[in-house]
Structures are given as C-alpha cells and as structure tokens.
Amino acid sequence: LQVTVLGTPREEQGGGKIDLIKAGAFDDLDVVFMAHPSQENAAYLPDVAEHDVTVKYYGKASHAAAYPWEGVNALDAAVLAYNNLSVLRQQMKPTWRVHGVIKNGGVKPNIIPSYAELEFYLRAPSMKDLSVLTEKVENCFKSAALATGCKVEIKGGENDYYNVLPNKSLQKVYKENGKKLGIEFISEDCVLNGLSGSTDFGNVTFVVPGLHPYFYIGSDALNHTEQYTEAAGSQDAQFYALRTAKALAMTALDVIFQPSLLEEVREDFRQVKLKEEGQINPV
C-alpha cells in the first residue's frame, strides 16, 4: 500500500494536472482526492467543462479625424464580437457560461486601432455541450471580422478542462466521515441544482476515480475576491481546512482497508465514464 502526495501547480493557468496526466503521474493510482475551499460543505459539486479562447483582430491604422475611411478598425471588431455574444445569450442553455474581457483595444483615441484582443472562457456541463457552445461562439468572433474587414485569429487554450465525474461510493463514505467530525453538508437538491467553476481535476476523474469535495472556511465571502483571499489566510480557516483533511484521510483509510469499497468505487467510475461518453443510456 502506498499513499502519494502529489503537488499539482497551474490549475488556473493551462491545467497542470493535465500535463501530469500526459506524463503518466496518475497511471499507478487507484483513487485521487482533492478538496477546494468554498462557501459551503459538499462532497460533490458539478464542476463544468471549460474552454479558453484568445481572439486577435488585425486591422489597419489611420488618423481617426483626418483619414478614418483609410482605416480598418480592430476595436470595432472586438466590440461587435462582444455584442454578438451578448445577443447569443438569449439562445444559450441556462447551464452554459460565456465570459471574457477586451485585453487590448488600441493605443490612442486619434488612431484607428489596428489591433484588438479578447480573452474568453466558455463553460458547459459536458464536453459534448462545450463543443456545441464553442462553435456558436467562434461564429460570433468570425462574423465580427467579416463585418469590419479585419482579419481574425482564434486560438484555443493549451488544454480544455473536463467536467468532474461524480463517484457516489466515495462521496457517501466521505460524507459519513465528515459528519463524524461535525461537518454539515448542503442538501442533495442544492448540489443537483447548483453550478460551480471548472478545474483540471475534471480531467483526472476521466482516468482514475476521484473525489473533489468543497469545504466552508468560516466566511461568507465569495471566491476570487479580495475578501476571500483574506479569509482563506486567516487563523479561523485553518480549523476548517484541517477538518476537511482529516475527513479525506479517513476516507482514504476506508478505501485502503476495505477491498469491497474499492471495487464499488471502480464500478461507479466505469459506469459514470461510460454514461459520459455516450456508450450507455442515462438512467
């Protein structure tokens, strides 16, 4: 028996776990655990699939007052693309997410911008849905280029993030252990009706059974804010983090010393993966 502590950097910048998968870091592992801070305790939240895209528009600079007709406005293309996506939202599924920023919009007001750049994240509950959404979004980018006369370069991120596959056997045991330590979990309705972010741990769950619980840190601040950063580094948060680590350790011991549980975990993994890949009909 062996327990491996594996550092996995770059979760939000390219997907370090995906690189580790390609390098074989998860080949000999039976089960993988990871926990993420949040506003509630949940053995599972539906982390969704995600695709990064960078869009670059190339136009032609000109004096914006004296010779505007000689220019090809790359910023116009970027604004059109942004508005195209806003219009698309009416036909988007409630579980789809598209959000982004204009990273470059020109140099000075009196110069027609010859270059503009946008960065967007696309999210959907499954890789199948994500491919449909990606096609629709890319058409928005391409049409903006056509309308303004710009050239467009659309480049996807280094790695796509897969949705996290649930494992009910692991979730059940983790919740039992967590409750022994005083963890209060949100209801199943909240889990099923909720949405979360995206993580490269999703890719891991496609190659090995995984558990990715969320845990409360003693603060109602929202993730990715200055307030949450402060709360995560506070002394109060340490109690909740250590309690979650204990629950994960107890679950690991259950898997190690109960061969039947490991078989249940593996069977859950096989069934969920088959369903995700469309090889069997959903229940």
Q: What is the mean pLDDT of residues 191-197?
A: 72
Confidence at residue 9, expressed as pLDDT on a 0 to 100 scale? 83
Q: Which of 128, 156, 184 is the last residue of a domain?
A: 156
Q: What are phi and psi of 121, to 5 degrees?
A: -115, 135
Burial class (CB in 10 A: 0-12, 13-18, 19+), 125: middle
Domain match, 134 and 259 both: no
Q: Is the pLDDT of residue 102 over 90?
A: yes
Domain count, the chain: 2
Cα dihedral 185, 189, 191, 197, rounded to 10, equals: -130
Domain match, 204 and 243 both: yes
Q: Which of 131, 156, 181 is the last residue of a domain?
A: 156
Domain match, 172 and 272 both: yes
Domain match, 114 and 203 both: no
Confidence at residue 283, expressed as pLDDT on a 0 to 100 scale? 39
- Per the structure, the complete domain to which residue 103 belongs is given by 49-156
Domain match, 41 and 171 both: yes
Domain match, 72 and 142 both: yes
pLDDT digits (tens, 9 = 90+) for 54-83: 999 999 999 999 999 999 999 999 999 999
Confidence at residue 156, expressed as pLDDT on a 0 to 100 scale? 94
Confidence at residue 223, expressed as pLDDT on a 0 to 100 scale? 87
The percentage of residues in the chain with a pLDDT greater than 70, rounded to a whole number, is 96
Confidence at residue 196, expressed as pLDDT on a 0 to 100 scale? 73
Confidence at residue 162, expressed as pLDDT on a 0 to 100 scale? 95
Q: Please check whether residue 202 lies inside any domain of the structure.
A: yes
Domain match, 39 and 176 both: yes
Q: Please check whether residue 6 lies inside any domain of the structure.
A: no
Can you give the pTM of this predicted structure? 0.88
Q: What is the mean pLDDT of residues 235-239?
A: 94
Strand, coil or helix: what is 98?
strand
Q: Please check whether residue 11 lies inside any domain of the structure.
A: no
Q: Strand pairing of 32-33 and 210-211?
A: parallel
Q: Is the pLDDT of residue 188 over 90?
A: no
Domain match, 38 and 176 both: yes
User: How large is the greatest C-alpha to C-alpha distance in the chain, in angstroms?
Assistant: 79
Domain match, 150 and 232 both: no
Q: What is the mean pLDDT of residues 4-21?
A: 87
Domain match, 226 and 251 both: yes
Q: Please check whether residue 79 lies inside any domain of the structure.
A: yes
**Element (DSSP H or E) covering residue 119:** strand 115-124
Distance CA 225, CA 23 (A): 33
pLDDT digits (tens, 9 = 90+) for 143-167: 999 999 999 999 998 899 999 999 9
Q: Please check whether residue 259 lies inside any domain of the structure.
A: yes
Q: What is the mean pLDDT of the chain?
A: 93
CATH of residue 125: 3.30.70.360
CATH of residue 20: 3.40.630.10
Domain match, 171 and 40 both: yes
Q: Please check whether residue 10 lies inside any domain of the structure.
A: no
Query: What radius of gyration do the chain's Cα atoms show?
Result: 23
Domain match, 31 and 66 both: no
Q: Which of 107, 135, 156 is the last residue of a domain?
A: 156
